[in-house]
Amino acid sequence: MLKDITIGQYFPGQSAVHRLDPRMKIILTMLYIVALFVADNFQGLLLSAVFAAAGYLISGIPLSMIRKSMKPVIPIIVFTAVLNMLFVEGREIFRLGFLKITLEGVVLAVLMVTRIICLIAGSSLLTYTTSPIALTDAIEQLLAPLKRLKMPVHELAMMMTIALRFIPTLIEETDKIMSAQKARGADMESGGIMRRAKALIPILIPLFVSSFRRADELALAMECRCYHGDEGRTRMKQLRYAPRDFMALGMLAVLLVLVLLFNRIFPSMY
């Protein structure tokens, strides 16, 4: 399960998606999220899903990565679907005691599940195709106007990127600790929810210790390399927009317009 978590991973490549300016990829991701939440019918969400699938095909990232990225959030998706089916008023199609399932609830549940899947798949494509260094520079430049308000933009961008980058590292460390505990006879897979939760306590303590040790080592390494924040810092690669960036922005603008058009043509079913 832990090995299937792909959040924060980067897959190097030379595809058109990889070569997009990281600032533009962040903007495209935000606009794609807006399109997902604006769509209130199957047609708009289906078009958004096709757009995300095309991005994966162009980037060369296997579509199986979507399935892997879904595994950690399956309980959330199921919980959301059940809540919508049981507590949305409408035409009743099934009843069991005081619980009832309505047609509008089923439709809304399907829409919400589709929206969550597209949201995770679309936002994951950003980290899959963007290196942590490029992502840091992009976030910093996009937040540059906040410097006028005396906000530590560079430090915020650095912290966000480091936190994202260390997710796979912490997952790998957790998997190693769990394997070591199982080798010593620990039982973490049997029993009820409370028993499994208690079995995780021996994992949390060494994980926290390892996390603090890695953070201390990282801080020491940055100090040894004379890192002093944004003051006097230069960049080896300067970010510049290219025609392909504006082409991608235009394509996503077309997607957003089509989603709004579908909202006018096809009435909402809930």
Confidence label for 61 from pLDDT (cuts 50, 70 and 90):
confident
- How crowded is residue 179: how many other Cβ atoms within 10 Å of its Cβ? 10
Residue 247 confidence (pLDDT): 94
Quick check: 1 pLDDT over 60? Answer: no
Range scoring the smallest mean pLDDT among 20-29, 165-174, 242-251: 165-174
Residue 207 confidence (pLDDT): 82
Residue 3 is classified by DSSP as: G
Confidence label for 246 from pLDDT (cuts 50, 70 and 90):
very high
As given in the structure block, the two tokens for residue 30 are 């935000």
Quick check: 249 pLDDT over 90? Answer: yes
As given in the structure block, the two tokens for residue 132 are 């942590």
- How crowded is residue 1: how many other Cβ atoms within 10 Å of its Cβ? 9
150: left (phi > 0), else alpha (psi -120 to 50), else beta?
left
Residue 30 confidence (pLDDT): 93
In the predicted model, what is the mean pLDDT of residues 226-246? 77
Range scoring the smallest mean pLDDT among 29-38, 111-120, 183-192: 183-192
**How many angstroms separate the Cα of 196 from the Cα of each of 169, 206, 256?**
23, 17, 44
In the predicted model, what is the mean pLDDT of residues 223-240? 74
Quick check: 169 pLDDT over 90? Answer: no
Residue 40 confidence (pLDDT): 84
Alpha helices in the chain (DSSP H): 22-38, 42-59, 64-70, 74-87, 103-128, 132-142, 153-183, 193-199, 201-224, 243-265
Instruction: Map residue 199 onto helix, strand or coil.
Output: helix
More confident residue, 194 or 125: 125
**Could you tell me the pTM of the whole model?**
0.77
More confident residue, 29 or 106: 29
More confident residue, 10 or 126: 126
Max mean pLDDT range (83-92, 114-123, 187-196): 114-123
In the predicted model, what is the mean pLDDT of residues 119-145? 85
Give the whole-number percent of the chain exceeding pLDDT 90. Answer: 17
